Amino acid sequence: MINIIRIFKRLLFGIFSFWFISCYSSLYTNEQKGLNIVWLVAEDLGPYIPSFGDSTVSTPSLDRLAREGVCYTNVYSVSGVCSPSRASLVTGMYPSSIGAHHMRTLSQQPAAREKGLINYEVVPPPEVKMVSQILRENGYYCTNNKKEDYQFYKSEMAWDESSIFAHWRNRPDGMKFFSVFNFGVTHESNLWDPWYRQYNLDPFPPDRSLKKWWKQFEGIKKPLYVSDDIDINIPPYLPYNNVVKEDMKRMYSNIVEMDEKVGLILDQLENDGLLEKTIIVWYTDHGGPLPRQKRLLYDSGIKVPMIIRYPSKKRSGEIDKRLISFVDFAPTLLSMVNIEPPSYHQGLAFEGKLKSPNNRSYIHAAADRFDEYYDMIRAVRDKRYKYLKNYNLDKPYYHPLEYRERMNTMKELLRLNDEGKLNDIQSQWFRLSKPEEELFDTENDPHELNNLAQNRKYEFKLIEMRNECEKWMSEINDMGFIPENELIESFWPNKIQPITEIPSVNYDNGRIKLDCITDGASIGYKFPNDDLPWIGWRPYTGSFDLDSLKTVKVIAHRLGYRPSDTLIYKQP
């Protein structure tokens, strides 16, 4: 029966691809030049791979990328969780500068809803576009397979495709592409609920009968890819016992599976003759999945591995130690393909033709609401020292999040803490209050366990980092001090989502001109031959001719607003 599933998936993919290409091939000419970009994104993963010093498991695909590319060893997320981090990746802005700092906004956990929080979309400033839309406006075919979760729903003009079927292979021949592949197998939740990946059952398009059919697989446990006697280095802030070891075995097993998926993408690029025409970027969306990693601003929560393979193996085997932030990714992506980054980007392009002449001296990160619990912490890091500014001193470090407490390691930590059996290092996380400032020497204290803020030897470093934190928060107009209900009201007055106005159509001298009165709205259009649900709206960049059917559909959308109704225009 499993083989039937796989055959059915391939059949669906083949049918969709054929329809897509035949209907969409007229969108662009074949005379495209320039490099392609592929982002390979693993979820919830710190540097637990051989190319970054951890040889617990073998990762031949990532090893190959590291041999043929550049390992970036000082890369940091802007948050310890995915949604705020992803908002930064696609906008080039810090989450707390656009109100995207709470985890999460689009789909609140039940306990958060009980506290009165609604599902809402962040409304960025009107000039902000998703970086993939900017690429599309410059002739790139953009695909996302398949994670979104940006704190707002994607722009209608963001992607040519965003689905489990999205792939560069669906593009018109010769067209440049930017393709994102997200590997959810390493996600935190797969430490306790990995059953559906035993047979690689990715979700189908919505179909209730299929969903019911999948129910028969519930409870099936996925086998581990690592041996029972594997030697695992458990971090000192976690108990050294078999419960933790089993979760870490699952983590490493998921890494092995993720590496296999990376290998499939590399094989496809090679088979398509595109490997040396494509920049490949592999990274993770924030730090590790274990307790005292994800959601926290310690390096375990925000430091990520990144490998970039350039065409012709340029800079192969190099180690790049520059400080890099997620807020730098969007401008760097554009710089790599020689597109001028917009002025609102808050990051620095660290590679490409438009690379910034300056290197970073600091990276910055923020922590705010996680599910139903509020806290506010800001972080600054240079190459050696980490500074934390705590704003809720009477709140504990640990917050009892129901989602995280499904993990056996978290349950074990709580049990041992209740019984008074944690050592001094392991019990730190359960302190009931926080100092206003923390300072760590990450070179001598990589797990950030020894606070130096009160040590007079480090007084000048503390002042330097404090001043940098205050300066950064002021420069980006940090919204962390605004109560979330007030923030929601500023986005959606009376908690009602604003609606993008329907665009206007002007037919002038044989050309179609479009406009929309909603400030910050982007406009998209479709001709009848490309009016299929998995095909993105063409981004409107200037007047155009109608097709032979003399008909066009038009839509407008500002990020955070509801898209406009669709307008159908037929030439009189």
Catalytic residue set:
82
Structure tokens at 78: 């802007």
Length of the chain: 572
345: left (phi over 0), alpha (psi -120 to 50) or beta: beta
For the purposes of burial, counting CB atoms within 10 Å of the CB of 19, is it exposed (0-12), middle (13-18) or buried (19 or more)? middle
Answer whether 121's CB lies under 8 Å from 153's CB: yes
CA 184 vs CA 28, 42, 44, 200, 503: distances in Å: 32, 6, 9, 11, 37
State whether residue 204 is helix, strand or coil.
coil
The H-assigned helical ranges of 186-328 are 208-214, 242-271, 299-302
Structure tokens at 380: 């600054």
Answer whether 295's CB lies under 8 Å from 410's CB: no
How many other CB atoms are found less than 10 A from the CB of residue 110? 10
Structure tokens at 422: 């944690």
**What DSSP string describes 312-375?**
GGTTTTEEE---EEGGGHHHHHHHHTT-PPPTT--S---SSTT--SS--S-EEEEE--BTTB--
State whether residue 415 is helix, strand or coil.
helix
| Neighbouring residues of 78: CB distance < 8 A, sequence distance ≥ 6 | 84, 85, 88, 94, 95, 302, 325, 326, 327, 364, 365, 366
Structure tokens at 158: 């963001």
State whether residue 281 is helix, strand or coil.
strand
206: closest CA among 243, 173, 164, 177? 164
Rounded distance, CA 526 to CA 445, Å? 56
